[in-house]
A and B are shown apart, each in its own frame.
Chain A
């Protein structure tokens, strides 16, 4: 055996460990989930009867599934632009500050590093009606009527989005700041010398150069909002995704089908749908991110 062959063999030998791990811990459950979505398995039963596409037909006939799918899209539509615009603005402002920058960064990243269950419950209590809720007590103090927030079918979802945006902004600000600091100062100075105003600097130089970061964060946030679960589970009554399913996202629907109704077939079918949506977004991400832009 030649030295080169030996080297390759050694490399594969070491690679074997992570490969085995991926095969059994990642891919096997995934393939298995695909298989279960074509069966009527109820988690307890030893038999899994093959039922073809009937689980898929069933979930698309299920009004709750359609509502959850719609809610998930609402989370993405309300959440992603809010997070991106808010965190970009904050990052631009923070970038101008030279004193206490570390402190401000810490303040913004704090919600992100706090356990999600804890922040969800704190917000759940802040959203309460009087006499408990801080926000409503403040409204009361100003002489304004109390709002229902989580107890209303129209306000509950935006309320949860607001909490999530507050959490995610911390993470995005840090990434944006890193992106901003990687923009060469010379570009901005040269533009200033040429007489560009602040508006032009922002829209003609900073934002185009920040494009890869914006795309990356948009995709990450999109996937995050598509998989939203913990906040909703902890902020709705008994983790129901209520009132009247108005906050139920797809992942909560899957969880309830699988571990409350023990209907693994429809739960995995819904999982496959979610997987396909995320896959599509990831493919688009790769296409867009790999596009080389020269300025």
Chain B
């Protein structure tokens, strides 16, 4: 009798849970005010769309994000959906944290239809895909229209090729009596976006590639001309140097640099500073255009199983939908990851050049972005501070970076 009652009770319990209880999933991201507000709004929308799903939104300071994730894994209290930098995917996967996106829900066609070409490559690791971006970032050339006018250049005509870039930068550079630069024609800051420009843009324009297709081998040392072009700006043409006015952003914002290569995330602060600036696609060379793109993406953790997994799939699909991308551009100022959405803004004078850049952009597969940025910074420093040849400097950097890559690929057993 008692046994019977127990069975009935437990059946009732299971039944009531499946009928009345909502599926609750937890979403983690780092704290960035506009992003947090946008996600809060979007969760409301999502819950209207799927009343049986509840999303809990948790944020952490950027600095402690990885540590929080790290401590939550063994405790089993982590999120179901996590927002992470695409460059962290290998680490999260090899640590047993992310699960691959189910192929029936996220097919090749799905990616082809909804994202720029660099996205599926950027979220892929060892043949499987792990995350979906809401928005992406790319590089472009910012130029100061007032300083162009002052130097007698047409303020509506930015440089279109590398040759024009050098010529214009020279005209825009001013020196004091002792030969010190007081206004840089072009800010050169490898520690900013400069290292991306050398790696993914200049290297390709000078006829090479930064890495082998599977990112196991460093190959940029084969085109030292790319590094030479960059360091010539500093040592031969003398249009700028790393650290001028502390950094490229300060120099451009305080109108002490006439041009800069920077990311789409800088638009808002430049507008706020009241600079009369224009944005152009990165100058081409040899008829080759290239760009660097990066993004934060939403991945599903191993915590999510069964109903939670279904809810998580719906949630990340919702976050990467056309409508959300449009909201994201307006509220957060990041570029849509979907070419069809991007097309609508192609004629925008500010966003247009960034969006066009996405068509031919590459998202570098970073295994340790800080270390990989450092080798590029060092290559430039060796040339302009130590007088080492670009060939030698690039070779040494490639060796150091190869060791970083080898260590990573060894650790994942490839």
Contact = CB atoms under 8 A, between A and B. Distances in A.
A and B co-occur in one complex: yes
A42 B95 contact: yes
A150 interface: yes
A152 B243 contact: no
A134 to B, nearest CB: 13
Contacts of B374: 240
A262 B66 contact: yes
A105 B250 CA distance: 37
B368 A240 contact: no
Interface in B261-319: none
B232 to A, nearest CB: 18
Contacts of A150: 243
Given A128-B246, A260-B370, A44 B176 contact: no
B96 interface: yes
A240 B97 CA distance: 29
B386 A129 contact: no
A165 B256 CA distance: 32
A231 to B, nearest CB: 16
Contact of A240 (B94, B241, B246, B377): B377
| Central interface residue in B70, B181, B256, by most chain A CB within 10 Å | B70
Given A43-B66, A124-B246, A240 B191 contact: yes
Interface residues of B, number: 38
A125 B244 CA distance: 11
A238 B191 contact: yes
Contacts of B244: 129
B381 interface: yes
A260 B181 CA distance: 34
Contacts of A260: 368, 370-371
B18 interface: no
Q: Counting chain B CB atoms within 10 Å of each CB, which of A125, A245, A262 scores highest?
A: A262
What is the predominant secondary structure among interface residues of chain A facing chain B? loop
A256 to B, nearest CB: 7
Given A44-B97, A244-B378, A151 B243 contact: yes
Contacts of A43: 66-67, 70
Interface in B240-262: 241-247, 256
Contacts of B191: 237-238, 240
A130 B368 contact: no
B180 A146 contact: yes
B180 A130 contact: yes
A89 interface: no
B385 interface: yes
Contact of A44 (B92, B247, B373, B411): B92
Interface string B95-108: 11100000000000
A46 B368 contact: no
A257 to B, nearest CB: 10
A237 B242 CA distance: 9
A57 B269 CA distance: 46
A153 B370 contact: no
Interface string B347-379: 000000000000000000000101101100110
B74 A244 contact: no
B369 to A, nearest CB: 8
Which residue, of A44, A151, A240, A245, has the highest number of chain B Cβ atoms within 10 A? A44
B234 to A, nearest CB: 11
Contacts of A152: 385
Given A45-B96, A145-B178, A243 B246 contact: no
A200 interface: no
Given A124-B246, A240-B374, 6 more contacts: A128-B243, A136-B180, A150-B243, A152-B385, A237-B242, A242-B377
Would you list the 4 A-B pairs with minimal beta carbon distance, nearest first?
A260-B370, A45-B95, A44-B95, A130-B180
Interface of B: 66-67, 69-70, 73-74, 91-92, 94-97, 176, 178, 180-182, 191, 241-247, 256, 368, 370-371, 373-374, 377-378, 381-382, 385-386, 411
Interface of A: 40, 42-46, 124-125, 128-132, 136, 140, 145-146, 150-153, 237-238, 240, 242-245, 256, 259-262
